[in-house]
Amino acid sequence: MSQDRWSAVDDYVDELLIGHDPVLEAALADSVAAGLPSIALTPAQAKLLHLLARVHNARSVLEIGTLGGYSTIWLARALPSDGRLLTLELEPSYAEVARANVERAGLAGLIKIIVGPAIESLRKLVAEHAGPFDLFFIDADKQSTAAYFQAALELSRPGSVIVADNVVRDGEIVDDATQDPRVQGMRRFHEVVAAEPRVSATTIQTVGAKGYDGFTLILVER
């Protein structure tokens, strides 16, 4: 099985189960036009996250890694009108694109974009007792994923859910001699999660239009 087939199945799923959405399509088009990397979630992945938020009755979401706000919009649409979503972005120019996309989606009242190094923003949120959040989505620089998980845990409550993207990296995750700092980061993330007695977790491998990768799903137990 190949990338062509994985992409064809994603097209099939998009057409039947997701459909067209001018706001989301414009968010992606404007992200590309502004030169952002094309690494947003696929529609099928983003809808999985959206459905997870709804199944979980999430009222508050903390996203780490905004990019152009595509997953941000999908997540915010899962929240009640008095919900809140904080999203952390390092690159001011990405945050500007996301801000415009969020405004066009009519979600500016729900979403706050915080610009700067996520680890510093997280420290501030912990100091301000900004938690707990019901759902976390970690999708930023891969080297720091373990640190973002630890900060998310500090901002969680029993029952919070933490999802991380890009945790399998073409299967390179099993290569203990990898020199790729992003893969090393994801190996460290798995080790930290494995050693954390307060959570229960699994990793699911995925294929699709974005290739072969995976998500980790974590439930905070106590």
Q: Which residues contact ligand DHB (rule: CB under 6 A)?
A: 39, 139, 165-166
The residue (of 71 and 160) whose beta carbon lies closer to ligand DHB is 71
Could you give the C-alpha distances from 100 to 23, 47, 62, in angstroms and in order?
11, 21, 19
The residue (of 36 and 110) whose beta carbon lies closer to ligand DHB is 36
Which pair of structure tokens corresponds to residue 207?
């294929």
The residue (of 59 and 141) whose beta carbon lies closer to Mg ion is 141
The residue (of 83 and 165) whose beta carbon lies closer to ligand DHB is 165
Give the whole-angstrom CA distance, residue 112 versus residue 106.
13
Give the whole-angstrom CA distance, residue 146 versus residue 15.
36
Q: Which one of 45-53, 88-96, 133-141, 185-193 is the stretch in contact with Mg ion (CB under 5 A)?
A: 133-141
Alpha helices in the chain (DSSP H): 3-13, 22-33, 43-55, 70-76, 92-104, 118-127, 145-154, 181-194
87 in contact with Mg ion (CB under 5 A): no
Give the whole-angstrom CA distance, residue 89 versus residue 156.
20
At 159, the amino acid letter reads G
153-212: which residues touch Mg ion (CB under 5 A)?
165-166
The residue (of 84 and 135) whose beta carbon lies closer to ligand DHB is 135
Shortest distance, CB of residue 211 to ligand DHB, whole angstroms? 8
Shortest distance, CB of residue 213 to ligand DHB, whole angstroms? 7
63 binding partner (options Mg ion, ligand DHB, none; Cβ < 5 to 8 Å by kind): none
At 182, the amino acid letter reads R
Q: What is the DSSP letter of 90?
A: S
Q: Which residue is nearest to Mg ion (CB)?
A: 165
Give the whole-angstrom CA distance, residue 190 versus residue 196.
10
* Residue among 2, 12, 14 nearest 44 (CA): 14
134 binding partner (options ligand DHB, Mg ion, none; Cβ < 5 to 8 Å by kind): none
Shortest distance, CB of residue 40 to ligand DHB, whole angstroms? 8
Shortest distance, CB of residue 122 to ligand DHB, whole angstroms? 18
The residue (of 144 and 166) whose beta carbon lies closer to ligand DHB is 166
* Interface with Mg ion (CB under 5 A): 139, 165-166
